[in-house]
Amino acid sequence: MNPWNHDVAKDENDLVDVQVDGVWTRMPRGLNVVEVAQRAKKFIPHYCYHPKLSVVGNCRMCLFEMGTPKMGPDRKPVLGQDGKPEIAWMPRPQIGCATNITPGMGIKTDSPLVKDCRNGVMEFLLINHPLDCTICDQAGECKLQEYSVEYGTGESRFIENKVKKPKNVDLGARIVLDDERCILCSRCVRFSSEVMKDDVLGFVNRGSHSTLTAYPGKSFDNAYSLNTVDICPVGALTSKDFRFQMRVWFLKETKSICTSCGTGCNVTIGSREGKVHRLTPRENEAVNSLWMCDFGRLNFHFLESKDRLHRPLLRAAGEQFPGTWADAIQRSADGLKKVKPEDIAVVASGRLTLEELFVLKRLVTELGVTRVDTVLNLGQADNFLRSGDGNPNRRGTELLGLSSGGRKLGSWGAEIESGKIKALLVTGGEDVVAAGISAASLAKLELLIVSGISVHETTRMAHVVLPGAAFAEKTGSMVNVYGRLQRMTRAVPPPGEAREEWTILRDLRIALTGGNSLHSVEDVWKSMAAEVSQFSGLSWAKIGDLGIQIESVSQPAESVTG
Amino acid sequence: MSVPLQAGMESCVGPEKGELTPAFESQADELISRYPVSKRSAVLPLLHLWQETFGYIGPRGVEWIAKKLSLQEIQVLELVTFYPWFRQKPVGRFHFRVCRTLPCALGGSGKTFAALKKLMNLSSDGHEGAMISEDGLFSLEYSECLASCGTAPVVLRNDEFYEKVDEKRAADLVAGCR
């Protein structure tokens, strides 16, 4: 996926001796000094260096003091009293990003010379910087701010005029550029060129007039453009969506996954007081590395949509009225009890979590319902991160035996028409009208129960509407198209009286079958681990932040066929 | 310092509009053939060729060279804006460069420049790129060191080099063009 992985050693067992700040240690051959320092629990500050992009060495922030073993007349290293080579230190500093370690190398990351260098580099970088931190979106997570505090002087000797540059450049559909803040690290240029193969960014002019720009007439709006906002170490590239919306230090960060497709990119949800403000990719080399697509990143505004379902709705006299949860559950249970199991159909959703699906599975098993299927939500794969499968947990529905891949569902319209299906339970907010069952057919049902998050054709036809929680509003787990089990964590509460769907299904199950063994996510996992071999020995806590590979699916079919 | 290209701003006025002759094409191909390992290296020779042929390098030149070398336009534009020698706008038939680096400045290149400016009937201070006379005959700009400090101040008229150009000699140079 990445053209470079400077943070990954070719061979973790091929070690060489290096001395980092006076301590001898063994590090994998071929790593650069920035990465070696990191592994030695030291930190070398850097701007332009990025482990997934080519090394250009233009910011000069990662200067360090380097030494090599002293050689005796016999061309053998001179050993000191400790039996280790004595080091001859070079008078001039080197850049850590472009220096790979060699046997016996000495590295000083915090000597007076190194501190002096950083100090000087910081002063140069700030010469033309506008210092408009007060209104800058990057403030609080800005490397220029952070390194100023740690390595800067706190004052500038520059009394001349700063160079003026464009401050509000529309680079493309989702990105605004402030050229005065740009420190010319070229991370964005390299990301576009090396990862996305979409070369539209570059530097024009020279010296202190150097300016980041897109080629005139071209816009920078590839499907992954917002990743440049993440890797921009300063506030030069800003997301139009997030620009001036929220100071980042107010954001609560919750580890979760993106549910916009079957890949399940790991994300951090940034929220404040019940409102999600942004999604940013969270590093997971097994799934998305450090990236995510712009579509998934921005696909959270529906959480605040006015079409969200806030309260249970019950149909009476042809119209839907708000009701209590108790009534909604009771009405659903009573209605389902009146219908023979063979006349009931259930839409399990590839958008539900495993926990929700498992409670649903118990429910349909105990009722004896056999007509269970999922809606296929096909999208367009892009041969990078985006999967052609729009269901984030399709594999979960398959593992729990709740899907025939839409095969059964195809005939349900006709079966409703012929009276074979009298009751339909739709979960996960699926719109079965969009999936091919006409509203006219749905009108013929004796009972239509829909649990979901927003209003659509199917919820409008329902006798009972059960408002559920969207991805950022619930805790659970899913299996992505590559067979990786991953967790999501609730960042914000669902709106109004809406509830996490597994509690809805749990209550419905208690009312219907009296089955009451699943009261918590832990209970669900205990049963699920016992029943499904792929989950054996696992629990929600054991999944961890980076997930667990439970089966090996190297190339899911839909990513090839799109 | 040159101003970055604005798409559509320039619409290829002047010589850049001219036809690409087979001779030009074969000259370009010959230049590219000198870099068998990486034809990207031919970008500077091609930029020089284009400017010598058309007088300046507008969007058409940038795009033609990018296509010729399988580069992105931005990669060519970066170079055009980096080097002061390359121009993005047409200049006059007689283009004057007056050195303003220290020895020439001490030798009176400012006076020479002012004299030329007056003779050509130009406005603006000359620090914002080349000025062009209304009839398109003359253009004038400052340049950095032209490598003849011993004979300051020096002037370049198109490709001809003139030494010790005082106000009197400047008038002769301009008169010689008419």
Q: Inform me whether the pLDDT recorded for A238 exceeds 50.
A: yes
- The answer to whether the CB of A225 falls within 8 A of the CB of A237 is no
Look at A205 and B1 and tell me if their CB atoms are within 8 Å. Answer: yes
Q: Inform me whether the pLDDT recorded for B1 exceeds 70.
A: no
How far is A127 from chain B, CA to nearest CA, in Å? 19
Helix (H) or strand (E) holding B126: none
Q: What is the pLDDT of residues A151-194, one digit of tens each?
A: 998 888 999 999 999 999 999 999 999 999 999 999 999 999 99
* pLDDT at A514 (0 to 100): 86
* pLDDT at A560 (0 to 100): 39
CATH code that applies to domain A15-110: 3.10.20.740
* pLDDT at B12 (0 to 100): 38
Q: List, by residue range, all CATH 1.10.10 domains of chain B.
A: 9-82
Look at B4 and A200 and tell me if their CB atoms are within 8 Å. Answer: no
Query: pLDDT class for B7, splitting at 50, 70, 90?
Result: very low
Q: Inform me whether the pLDDT recorded for B9 exceeds 80.
A: no
Mean pLDDT of A397-411: 91
Pairing of strands A344-347, B160-162: unpaired
Task: In whole angstroms, give the CA distance from residue A522 to residue A168.
Answer: 51
DSSP codes joined into one string, A265-290 = -EEEEEEETTEEEEEEE--BTTTTBT
Q: List, by residue range, all CATH 3.40.30.10 domains of chain B.
A: 94-175
* pLDDT at A443 (0 to 100): 95
How far is B131 from chain A, CA to nearest CA, in Å? 19
* pLDDT at A404 (0 to 100): 87
Mean pLDDT of A22-33: 96
Q: What is the pLDDT of residues A374-397, one digit of tens each?
A: 999 998 899 899 999 999 999 999
Mean pLDDT of A500-505: 94
pLDDT above 70: percentage of residues in chain B: 88
Q: What is the pLDDT of residues A307-359, one digit of tens each?
A: 999 999 999 988 999 999 999 999 999 999 999 999 999 999 999 999 999 99
Tell me the chain A residues in contact with residue B5 when contact means C-beta distances shorter than 8 Å.
Answer: 216
Query: pLDDT class for B19, splitting at 50, 70, 90?
Result: confident
Please name which of A88, A96, A86 lies closest in space to residue A27, comparing C-alpha atoms: A96
Mean pLDDT of A502-523: 89
Average pLDDT of chain B? 87
Q: What is the pLDDT of residues B105-151, one digit of tens each?
A: 999 999 999 999 999 998 876 666 788 888 889 999 999 999 999 99
Look at A206 and B72 and tell me if their CB atoms are within 8 Å. Answer: no
CATH architecture of the region A313-471+497-536: 3-Layer(aba) Sandwich (3.40)
CATH superfamily of B94-175: Glutaredoxin (3.40.30.10)
* pLDDT at A420 (0 to 100): 95
Query: pLDDT class for A87, splitting at 50, 70, 90?
Result: very high
Q: What is the pLDDT of residues A243-264, one digit of tens each?
A: 999 999 999 999 999 999 999 9
Please name which of A259, A223, A214, A243 lies closest in space to residue A354, comparing C-alpha atoms: A259
Tell me the chain B residues in contact with residue A200 when contact means C-beta distances shorter than 8 Å.
Answer: 72, 74
Query: pLDDT class for A518, splitting at 50, 70, 90?
Result: confident
How far is B55 from chain A, CA to nearest CA, in Å? 20
- The answer to whether the CB of A118 falls within 8 A of the CB of A61 is yes
Tell me the chain A residues in contact with residue B75 when contact means C-beta distances shorter than 8 Å.
Answer: 199, 202
Domain boundaries, given as residue ranges, for chain A:
15-110, 313-471+497-536
H helices, E strands: number in chain B: 7, 5
Pairing of strands B138-143, B94-99: parallel
Q: Inform me whether the pLDDT recorded for A269 exceeds 90.
A: yes
Reported CATH class of domain B9-82: mainly alpha
* pLDDT at B55 (0 to 100): 85
Look at B74 and A211 and tell me if their CB atoms are within 8 Å. Answer: no
B78 touches chain A (CB under 8 A): yes
* pLDDT at B127 (0 to 100): 65
